[in-house]
Structure 1
Amino acid sequence: MATQHHNALTRVLAELPGPLPAFGVIHIAIPHTSRFTIVGNHLAQHAELSLVAIGIGVHIQSLPVGSLVGIKALTARFAEGEMRIAAALRELEAHGYLRRAHVRLANGRMATRTVFCNQPGALERAGRVVVAPKVPPAVPEEAPAVPEEPPAPPPAPEPDPVPESHPPVRVPPRTAPKPPRRPLPQPRELTPELRQTASAILADLRNHAEALVLSEADVEELIPGVAAWLEREVHPGAIRHALTADLPKPPKYPAKIVRHRLTVLLPPPLPGAEELAPAVRRPLVIPLQNCDGCDRAFRSREPGHCRGCRDLAAAA
Structure 2
Amino acid sequence: MTSAHSNAPSSAPSRVSSGVIHIRTRQTSHFTVLANHLAQRAGSAVTVGVAAYILSLPDGAPITIQALCVHFAEGKTAIAGALRELEAEGWLERRVERGPHGRIVTRTFAYDLPGTAAEPAGTSAPEPESSGGPEPTEPSQPTPEPVPVIEAVDLLTRLPHRDRRLLLSEREITALAPAVTDWLDRGAAPQEITEALTTGLPARLNRRPARLLAHRLTALRPPARTSLRPPARTSPLPEPDRPPVVPLQNCDGCDRAFRAGRPGRCRACRVSAEARPAPETHCAA
Instruction: Verify same fold: TM over 0.5.
Output: no
Structure 2 length as normaliser, TM-score? 0.41
Structure 1 length as normaliser, TM-score? 0.37
